[in-house]
Amino acid sequence: MLHFRKSVVVSALVFGAICGGMAGYIFAGFSDLPDITKLEQYAPPVATKIFSSDGRLIGELFQEKRELLPYDQIPQYAIKAVLATEDARFYRHRGVRVLSLFRALLADLRAGKMVQGGSTITQQLAKTLFLTPEKTLSRKVREMIIALQLELKFTKPELLTMYFNQIYFGAGAYGIESAAQVYFGKHAKEMTLAECAVIGAIPRAPTVYSPANNMARSRERRSFVLGRMLREGYISSAERAAADLDPITLAPAKRTESSPWFLEVVRQELEQQYGSAGLYRDGLEVQTTMDYGMQISAQKAVAEGVKEVEARIKKRKDNPEGLPLQAALIALDPATGEIRAMVGGVDFKQSQFNRALQAKRQPGSSFKPFLYLAALESGMTPATRLIDSPIQLDDPAHPGGWKPINYENRFFGPVSMRFALTHSLNVASVKLFLDVGVQRVINTARKLGITTELHPFPSLVLGGSDATLVEMTSAYSAIANHGILVKPHFIHSVKTRGGVTDETHPTTAEATSAQNAFIMTSMLKSVVESGTGQVAQKVGFPVAAKTGTTSDFTDSWFVGYSPKLSAGVWVGYDIDKTIGEGETGARAAGPIWTNFMREALAGGTPVDFEKPDGIVEIEIDEKTGLLPDTKCGKTTREFFREDNQPTRSCKTLLDVRR
């Protein structure tokens, strides 16, 4: 008896030594295993979400489309579905099921390769978090060791939380919340038993069992999952039967209606500030400045406007090469500089070039307000007389001399500054440019935010130098904003994963006085009321605007604003090619601007531009711009700065002429 006991003890010691040696060998051979304590701050890649100003989700950026859920928001039916099919003894083992492993090992030996996993949910989590999907014995051993460590470190609910946030569910969805939204268009906590069974069936083979890939296989697998849930006692027979009859109704694929050009600018700015890792992994919450309704209106206006112009081009047979006509629109809040809508072209898939921000084109007569504002700053008034008559001058842009002409190819003689701008008189404007001086005009444009190169030639006043649409629209916005220029921007705020919110604080600068800005606005209102911009009357709100047309009708512009919204539109080809005879700013770009502004302002209360202190409106003689007299002719009303209103009577001018 004693001998037998000694044999048992010796055998036990030998077996223990062998097991200990094997364990020591295994752990020594796999000493480079990852540090699982890092999971205490579990932070898998999470999608960056981009929202419009009213909180509408307009885009996502991610390496893995994932949203994190706490344990109490993971539906119990989904947990039970996965447990029933993947690991029914999850709550009874410590990470590894020995018998399952032996069965899998035997199957592998019979097949001569690894064909069965025998993995628990904890092992699946270990593989997903730390290992590659290769099927080797070495990887399997690592998986087992990590699973054992995970079970020692975390509770079962914590492991399930990581599992349901980490696992791939097919169709680009990582984690159960993304899966619920991708497949069913709802939050995970809103899923039914039948939907949870569909989701629970997927992890075994996401490509095979995804309902988006194979509805029949998905329905068959769902039935299997429901059967397993019934056998495990998770659901009743009645629940199983009802769920088995439910149709699998997938959510329609989401359409990206918001501007891809807008989202691309936001993406570039975010990547520059937060880096690629921060952008694609850290789950930023980005509130942009986009007004979703205005963005849709902008896209609609551009599409319809281009279609109308192309129909005229086709009728005239002006585009035998079949080049795509392009257009761009940008709209912003003058007071804040927030970009409300932007369309950078006709088709983002065909061309990602952003014509609202990147294209440098000649603005034509839409540059003239900078000249007239410079004239106001130099002491002139809307009533200052200009002589619209033939002139020839030297201009480096026109070798051999330049004779500017008006669009209507006629001259109007003595006119007021208001009349000259209202009817976009080229010759009178060139003469005004010579009086005001090139440097003053350039300085005014610079203060309004024009940064592109400006050639100091007389043709500058007719848009002879390039500018971008965003620059032009922002410059007009400064006039709308009582002379204060606010830097345009696309992002309102960014909330980081750590809960810190970074807000945009744009720079501001005084471009001109509030009084000069108001008088300039009143002149641009005349352009709409009786000049080249009359198409904008269809907006139905007080607006101020200016047209722009380059020689040979190569570029068509329409830029303007209401008290609360500025917008600019450009139409043309990407190369210097005429749009066609008569395709002026009013005809080609004007309807796009008008249709957009009408929809953007719809529902609001019409508000006129606020008159600042220091402005007077008085009656003057229409022909001379001086104070009226019964011996003179017709009168009209005009705005002046208090310190710069006429003091002489028109009668004095008549006396001089006599």
Instruction: List, as one string, the DSSP characters of 472-497.
Output: HHHHHHHHHTTTEEE--BSEEEEE-T
Distance linking the first and last C-alpha atoms of the chain: 150
User: Which two structure tokens, joined as six digits, stand for 566?
Assistant: 């500025």
Query: Which residue intervals of the chain bear CATH 1.10.3810.10?
Result: 69-245
pLDDT at position 118 is: 58
Closest CA to 225 of 97, 126, 82, 115: 82
- Alpha-carbon torsion 88, 136, 130, 166, what sign? negative
Q: How many CB atoms lie within 10 A of CB 455?
A: 15
pLDDT at position 401 is: 82
CATH topology of domain 295-491+504-601: Beta-lactamase (3.40.710)
> Under 8 Å CB-to-CB from 190, ≥6 apart: which residues?
180
pLDDT at position 395 is: 79
pLDDT at position 103 is: 59
CATH node for 69-245? 1.10.3810.10
Report the 3 state secondary structure along 627-642: ECCCCCCCEEEEEEEH
Catalytic residue numbers, as ranges: 86, 365
> Under 8 Å CB-to-CB from 28, ≥6 apart: which residues?
none
pLDDT at position 147 is: 81
Q: How many CB atoms lie within 10 A of CB 89?
A: 11
pLDDT at position 101 is: 60
- Alpha-carbon distance of 111 to 266, in angstroms, equals 53
The mean pLDDT values, 10 residues at a time, for the chain of 658 residues are: 47 45 49 63 83 93 88 96 92 76 57 57 84 66 83 90 91 91 94 96 91 94 96 95 94 71 95 90 94 96 98 94 96 98 95 96 97 98 96 84 89 96 97 96 98 93 95 98 98 91 95 98 98 97 97 96 98 96 97 98 94 97 92 94 94 64
Report the 3 state secondary structure along 363-401: CHHHHHHHHHHHHHHCCCCCCCEEEECCCCEEECCEEEE
pLDDT at position 137 is: 67
Torsion-angle region of 594 (φ positive above 0: left; ψ -120 to 50: alpha; else: beta): alpha
Largest CA distance in the chain: 150
pLDDT at position 207 is: 87
Torsion-angle region of 342 (φ positive above 0: left; ψ -120 to 50: alpha; else: beta): beta
- Alpha-carbon distance of 91 to 84, in angstroms, equals 12
Kindly report whether the global pTM for this prediction surpasses the value 0.95.
Answer: no
- Are residues 412 and 422 in contact, defined by beta-carbon separation less than 8 angstroms? no
pLDDT at position 502 is: 94
> Under 8 Å CB-to-CB from 413, ≥6 apart: which residues?
387, 388, 389
- Alpha-carbon distance of 171 to 173, in angstroms, equals 6
What percentage of the chain's residues is helix, strand, coil (to nearest 5)? 45, 15, 35
- The CA-based angle 418-422-426, given to 5 degrees, is 95
CA distances from 655 to 386, 631, 647 (A): 21, 11, 16
Element (H, E) at 327: strand 326-332
- Alpha-carbon distance of 165 to 172, in angstroms, equals 14
Closest CA to 565 of 528, 533, 609, 514: 609
Over its C-alpha atoms, the chain yields an Rg (Å, rounded) of 36
pLDDT at position 11 is: 45
- The CA-based angle 415-416-421, given to 5 degrees, is 100
Query: Which residue intervals of the chain bear CATH 3.40.710.10?
Result: 295-491+504-601
User: Which two structure tokens, joined as six digits, stand for 556?
Assistant: 């068509």
What is the full DSSP assignment across 285-304?
A: EEEES--HHHHHHHHHHHHH
